[in-house]
Amino acid sequence: MTTQGSRLRALPFNRLIPNMLTVIALCAGLTAILYGFQGKWHFAVGAIMIAGLLDALDGRIARLLGGTSKFGAELDSLSDFISFGVAPAMLVYLWTLHAAKGPGWVVALIFAVCAALRLARFNTKLGDSDLPKWAGNFFTGVPSPAGGGLVLLPMMLSFEFGGGFFSHPLLNGVLAVLVAYMMISKIPTFSFKQVRVPQRLVVPLLLAVGLIAALLVTATWLTLSGFLILYLFSIPLSVRAYRRLSETPSPATDALSVIDGTEDAEGDAAMASADDAGDETPTRR
């Protein structure tokens, strides 16, 4: 007991930062459910978006600070299940699917269960060294943070254009089932983890980030909806890129060369299928 206590006391603070972010993301997901029961839909979706941002950061910060651990990996998976599986399913049910009564609840259950299955499948593939290096640029299926955002897309659009069509139970039910299927499917989707920015594009990229920040402030829901729609359109491109690389004999080819013409020599086979979306990182999941 003394040895274990001394280990806890000797643990550097910076190694706890990624786990702190994960816990905050978990709290954000649970708070979204509370806002859903209160009918505060804007705040509920905002809490899910905050959880997604934190999920995208915690794994990367863990690697930068040397704070990766199996404990962090398991905590991250549990946080993702709550924030991007349970919370979005509850929000959609409370918002519109409850009107469908039993079938609406079944749809909510399907979405949450598929999110859990996706995370469980990811955890069982950690450390798979048989995958080619370029496979680290792809997820297998839609990552759970992206799935949680996609299922909330009609709600975001209703904030700008009103309810009616976007709040119809049939539309939301069909979308939830489709997103649930995409999460557990074997459809390859871009992970964007190893994107290299050419030097000539650094300044334009920073300007674009500033523009996006301004849009998020002035047109929050339209901007977020636009990103989700662009993500949907990227899926056929990712399938095409994956097939092309699968047919390429050279294992050193980088998956993102189909986008920017560059090769990434630092791909790590252990990173394959990483970042459930936001950031399913093998060292933390």
pLDDT tens profile 32-53: 999 999 999 999 999 999 999 9
- Residue 278 confidence (pLDDT): 42
- Residue 106 confidence (pLDDT): 97
The model's confidence at residue 210, banded by pLDDT at 50, 70 and 90, is very high
Average pLDDT, the chain: 81
- Residue 53 confidence (pLDDT): 92
pLDDT score of 271 more than 60? no
To which CATH superfamily is domain 10-193+201-271 assigned?
CDP-alcohol phosphotransferase transmembrane (TM) domain (1.20.120.1760)
The model's confidence at residue 157, banded by pLDDT at 50, 70 and 90, is very high
- Residue 54 confidence (pLDDT): 92
Determine phi and psi for 222, rounding to 5 degrees.
-65, -40
Write down the pTM of the prediction.
Answer: 0.80
* Residues contacting residue 246 through CB under 8 Å, at least 6 positions apart: none
Average pLDDT over residues 146-175: 93
The model's confidence at residue 58, banded by pLDDT at 50, 70 and 90, is confident
pLDDT score of 3 more than 70? no
- Residue 115 confidence (pLDDT): 94
The model's confidence at residue 279, banded by pLDDT at 50, 70 and 90, is very low
DSSP codes, the chain: -HHHHHHHHHS-GGGTHHHHHHHHHHHHHHHHHHHHHTT-HHHHHHHHHHHHHHHHHHHHHHHHHT---HHHHHHHHHHHHIIIIIHHHHHHHHHTGGGG-HHHHHHHHHHHHHHHHHHHHHHHTTT-TTS-GGGGGEEES--HHHHHHHHTHHHHHHHHH-STTTT-HHHHHHHHHHHHHHHHS--EEE--SS----GGGHHHHHHHHHHHHHHHHHSHHHHHHHHHHHHHHHHHHHHHHHHHHHT-S-TT--TTHHHHS---TT--GGGTT--SSS---TTT-
